[in-house]
Structure 1
Amino acid sequence: MIHSNPLRGPADVADWVAEGPVQFGTHEVGTGDDGGPGLGGDGTTALVLSGSLDAEEHGDHAHWTLWCPKELPDHVRISWEFLPLEEPGLAMVFFAASGHGGEDLFSSALAPRAGFYPQYHSGDMDALHVSYFRHKHASERAFRTCNLRKSAGFELVAQGADPLPPAGDADGFYRMEVIKDGPRVAFSINELLLFEWTDPSAEPLRGGYLGIRQMAPLKAAYRNLSVAPL
């Protein structure tokens, strides 16, 4: 194991880097069938993440990103469990994130970031990101997909169907998985492969940082983050 975090509550992300108005909480996890399809409950708690600003009043500045402070290598399997609690909104994961020109993602040489989306997809950082549970806008809810984008540049490079139900129909936690193996990226939910993509460029993104992002007013629970070598 390269990195693991049970994500039982705010204390488990006390050293993570918050950009934007993120709010932390705790979700009580039941026993028995409450753990989700094929997962089983464990009677513990999970980390709840939401926004602290009103989305209607603050618009796109109500969203946020939360970074794991550990820089990760390439050739990894990243997994976590996700449970939508209240919608609308959108969930996203950044990986292989770094600053332009080899700068560290948190270098003072980079422009400040405060959760506003263009700072992440068209600024001075490079990353891959998967957007899933895309229930923010009516068009996203009407035809649900998971999208993989490469930035800087906001290039849509892969897309697949999103099997996640609305929050009211969610059957406990769902297991999310990203494979980052050199130029190859794959994304699965509950072991169902949704898309696979191979970067055709001469210099695909390698190791870097992992970040969680949500669009307000989504409220969601997370637990059992793990990063393992392939």
Structure 2
Amino acid sequence: MECPLFETGDVLYYNRLACEQDLSDFHAEGEVNMQFIDNSLVLASRLNPEQHGDFAHWVLWCKHDFPDRISIEWTFKPLEEPGLCMLFFAAQGQNGEDIFDQSLPRRYGHYPQYHSGAINTYHLSYFRRKWPDERAFCTCNLRKSAGFHLVAQGADPLPTVKDVKESYQLKLIKYEQYIQFSINNLVVLEWLDQGSEFGSMLTTGKLGFRQMAPLKAMYRDLKVSELNQLAVTT
């Protein structure tokens, strides 16, 4: 794969995720419990998955729309597992609507509403510890929807919660057809969306965090920046 080199431009959005006021930019779908500990946002489900199954999970959307050619960075630390963490990005209605358009069906955190519903989006699963097979062989998965298409996969370097000693710096690059995900500057996966399968390349839209219960995790310092391409290496 040809690997672009980028220069970070202007910061388009920054949120410390450090206090309740910082959540005014966000919209929850599903029963999410939000706390602030040590100037960080700690997220979990209000519902017990043993009672509510797959309806115990949730999505927390940032209300802002973002362009193409961006990097998305955030600090992450898993606190309790099992569970799963995901980032949606470039999310729009299938006909270009805002994802909050009243004409779209209501969503409340149930995964099929997002991967095979009325929206198009990329979704990156970067901490997959929900099911026994995910814990036995840990990967990060990139999918494109609508349609739940697995388009890229890479080894997950994050340890299980009992071995976590620090927070991790996560970074997602979306520059036209090129998508790259890294953890602590280690590239985990890359993919080129040629727009020739699974629908046209996705560009602008919203981003959102998703967790599967009963996972509990910490988030801090969400930053979205413009990207300028410098060169292409092979």
- TM value normalised by structure 1: 0.91
Q: Is the 8 A contact 2:92 2:206 kept in 1?
A: yes
- Higher strand proportion: 2
Q: Does 1:189 align with 2:186?
A: no
Cα distance in 2 for residues equivalent to 1:100 and 1:16:
22
How far residue 18 of structure 1 moved from its aligned partner, in angstroms, is: 0.3
Using CA pairs below 8 Å that are at least 6 residues apart, which structure has the higher relative contact order? Answer: 2
The residue type equivalent to 1:104 in the other structure is: D
Q: Which residue is equivalent to 2:202?
A: 205
5 Å matches for 1:101-112?
101-112=95-106
SS of structure 1 residue aligned to 2:52: helix
How far residue 169 of structure 1 moved from its aligned partner, in angstroms, is: 1.0
Q: Which residue is equivalent to 1:36?
A: none
The residue type equivalent to 2:29 in the other structure is: E
Q: Is the 8 A contact 1:185 1:196 kept in 2?
A: yes
How far residue 132 of structure 1 moved from its aligned partner, in angstroms, is: 1.2
Q: Is the 8 A contact 1:5 1:225 kept in 2?
A: yes
Q: Which residue is equivalent to 1:76?
A: 70
Q: Which residue is equivalent to 1:7?
A: 17
Q: Is the 8 A contact 1:127 1:150 kept in 2?
A: yes
Q: Which residue is equivalent to 1:66?
A: 60
Q: Is the 8 A contact 1:46 1:222 kept in 2?
A: yes
Amino-acid identity (%) = 53
Give the aligned CA root-mean-square deviation in angstroms: 0.8
5 Å matches for 1:130-209?
130-201=124-195, 203-209=200-206
Q: Does 1:223 align with 2:220?
A: yes
How far residue 200 of structure 1 moved from its aligned partner, in angstroms, is: 1.8
Q: Which stretches in structure 2 are left out of the alignment for 5+ residues?
A: 1-10, 228-234
Give a deviation string over 1:41-81, Cα, whole Å, max 9, x none: xxxx1000100000110000000000000000000010000
How far residue 100 of structure 1 moved from its aligned partner, in angstroms, is: 0.9
Q: Which residue is equivalent to 2:91?
A: 97
Cα distance in 2 for residues equivalent to 1:91 and 1:25:
17
Q: Is the 8 A contact 1:26 1:46 kept in 2?
A: yes
Aligned length: 214
The residue type equivalent to 1:211 in the other structure is: G
Q: Is the 8 A contact 2:59 2:210 kept in 1?
A: yes
SS of structure 1 residue aligned to 2:73: strand
Cα distance in 1 for residues equivalent to 2:176 and 2:165:
34
The residue type equivalent to 2:211 in the other structure is: Q
How far residue 12 of structure 1 moved from its aligned partner, in angstroms, is: 1.1
Cα distance in 1 for residues equivalent to 2:188 and 2:90:
20
Q: Is the 8 A contact 2:25 2:64 kept in 1?
A: no
SS of structure 2 residue aligned to 1:196: strand
SS of structure 2 residue aligned to 1:101: coil
Give a deviation string over 1:107-156, Cα, whole Å, max 9, x none: 01111000000000000100001001100001000000000000000000
The residue type equivalent to 1:225 in the other structure is: L
Runs of 4+ with deviation above 6 angstroms: none
Cα distance in 2 for residues equivalent to 1:195 and 1:16:
27
The residue type equivalent to 1:213 in the other structure is: R
The residue type equivalent to 1:61 in the other structure is: F
Q: Which residue is equivalent to 1:40?
A: none
Q: Which residue is equivalent to 2:29?
A: 19
